[in-house]
Amino acid sequence: MPDTLTITDNRTGKQYEVPISYGTYPEYGASIPTADLRNIKASEDDFGLLGYDPGFKNTASCHSSITHIDGDKGILRYRGYPIEELAEHGSYLEVAYLVVHGRLPTRDELEAWTHEITFHTYVHESIKKFTEGFHYDAHPMGMLVSTVAALSTFYPEARDISDAENRRTQIVRLIAKMPTLAAFAYRHSKGLPFVYPDNDLSYAGNFLNMMFSIGEPKQPPNPVLQKALEVLFILHADHEQNCSATAMRSVGSSHADPYVSVAAAAAALYGPLHGGANEQVLRMLREIGTKDRVPEFVDRAKSGDFRLMGFGHRVYKNYDPRARILKSMARDVFEVTGSSPLLDLALELERVALEDEYFVSRRLYPNVDFYSGIIYQAMGFPVDMFPVLFAIPRVSGWLAQWQEMLEDPDQKIARPRQVYTGADERPYVPIDERTGADEQVGSPVGAGMDGR
């Protein structure tokens, strides 16, 4: 007998049976089709029951075979491969191939893929002019969101999202051009001349060169820093159905082209609740200042006065596996860049917090942002660039999610339902007869965010 769930509607006494289905792991992700709840009606003309789930905290929006996270066990795998093994042995482009295609490339396939990406890194000269049009202090993430959307106008054929070969071309272009757009945004904000892509360099090496190169002679970026950036890119390639992946799928579900869909995903990432926590970690460490003040700040976090930034995660209730990799990599980076008092402070903060019952009982561990900001800063990236550094590698994940969504026959245009709580029908009131606030039903615009 198949696994089912029996629901009794106490309004009518009727019973309903809905099927339970499973993904790869029976103990993780058993689900019911919530559309079946529509059959549950209090009366004949009833619309049927809806699921109410703000923020999709317990709603699976798709079947996906890209990324698996087990937050209790601290597991992250792309296409089945543990993140630790990919970070140790892979390159970012190899992992991007894996995420997009579903399997690791052969040597020939990786060479061809790397060649293709390398030779699509240039952008139209008009993009340069476009970037130059931004104000000198424009946020680089605002510039990236805008320029990636602008690419849509250069590749109108990208609108044919039903053609698999055409989609693949746009995927190559997007992965190739993101570092160029990002570096142009940074150089513009510094008033520095743009550096064109150098096809002799690796993906990460080319990005470092476009960011930091000053004049001749040509000096390849430090190999330790290149490797560190590759690892950071690998760790950020995908993270299943997070806010930006959901934006990518939602916008893409209307069959918008991949450039504007990626712009929407990058816009979602721009928000401090998603891509901005590592910047907050840096600010917090600077505020703590010295190791002897760590206990005082831990006490303040325990009293609810503030949150330890870079600690805790909605999904991971164990050590975030990405944070573990970054913690061990930080030493290599600091050997090249010179030691950082912030790293010593972070290590001390982690030690004190993880010995404290408050953090242990709530299963609050360092997340990926705890060490990434310190490393980025040591490498010379300003904090404004942190979400941009997240967006560059995440584009492979967004595009993999987009492809999967388009090829999944179950998927429809994203269009959630709502539970309407507004006024019932009422007659239009002539302007001289209105009483103002008395007629208000629901929250007025500008009512505040109730502490959110």
Residues lying near ligand ACO in the complex (CB under 6 A) are found at 274, 277, 301, 307-314, 362, 364, 367-369
**Which of the residues 101, 120, 139, 274 is marked catalytic?**
274
CB of 11 to ligand ACO, least distance (A): 32
* CA-to-CA dists, residue 185 to 130, 182, 209, 255, 390, angstroms: 10, 5, 14, 28, 15
Of the two residues 121 and 367, which places its CB atom closer to ligand ACO in the complex?
367
Q: Which residue is nearest to ligand ACO (CB)?
A: 312
Of the two residues 311 and 402, which places its CB atom closer to ligand ACO in the complex?
311
Cα(306)–Cα(94) distance, integer angstroms: 40
Of the two residues 117 and 229, which places its CB atom closer to ligand ACO in the complex?
229
Cα(390)–Cα(384) distance, integer angstroms: 11
Per-residue buried b or exposed e for 24-48, using 16+ beta carbons within 10 Å of the residue's own CB: eeeeeeeebeeebbeebbeeeeeee
Cα(138)–Cα(420) distance, integer angstroms: 39
Cα(59)–Cα(64) distance, integer angstroms: 13
CB of 319 to ligand ACO, least distance (A): 13
CB of 368 to ligand ACO, least distance (A): 5
Of the two residues 140 and 310, which places its CB atom closer to ligand ACO in the complex?
310
The tokens for 212 are 């930091």
**Which of the residues 238, 257, 320, 369 is marked catalytic?**
369
- The candidate with the shortest Cα–Cα distance to 180, out of 218, 140, 217, is 140
Q: What is the DSSP letter of 104?
A: P
CB of 409 to ligand ACO, least distance (A): 32
The tokens for 384 are 């404004």
What is the rounded end-to-end Cα distance, in angstroms, of the chain?
46
Cα(79)–Cα(69) distance, integer angstroms: 11
- The candidate with the shortest Cα–Cα distance to 124, out of 166, 198, 165, 184, is 184
CB of 314 to ligand ACO, least distance (A): 4
- CB neighbours of residue 115 within 10 Å: 11
Of the two residues 128 and 274, which places its CB atom closer to ligand ACO in the complex?
274
User: Known catalytic residue: 274?
Assistant: yes
Q: What is the DSSP letter of 305?
A: S
Q: Classify residue 441 by burial, with Cβ atoms within 10 Å: 0-12, 13-18, 19+.
A: exposed
Q: What is the DSSP letter of 442?
A: S
Cα(337)–Cα(341) distance, integer angstroms: 12
Cβ contact 91:202 at 8 Å: yes
User: Known catalytic residue: 115?
Assistant: no
Of the two residues 184 and 390, which places its CB atom closer to ligand ACO in the complex?
390
Residue with tokens 């003309």: 45
CB of 261 to ligand ACO, least distance (A): 21
Of the two residues 197 and 310, which places its CB atom closer to ligand ACO in the complex?
310
Of the two residues 90 and 310, which places its CB atom closer to ligand ACO in the complex?
310
The tokens for 81 are 């491969």
Cα(252)–Cα(399) distance, integer angstroms: 10
CB of 365 to ligand ACO, least distance (A): 10
User: Known catalytic residue: 160?
Assistant: no
CB of 313 to ligand ACO, least distance (A): 5
Kindly give, in sequence order, each residue whose CB lies less than 8 Å from that of residue 220, ignoring residues fewer than 6 positions away: 201, 205, 209
**Which of the residues 68, 188, 236, 313 is marked catalytic?**
313
Catalytically active residues are: 274, 313, 369
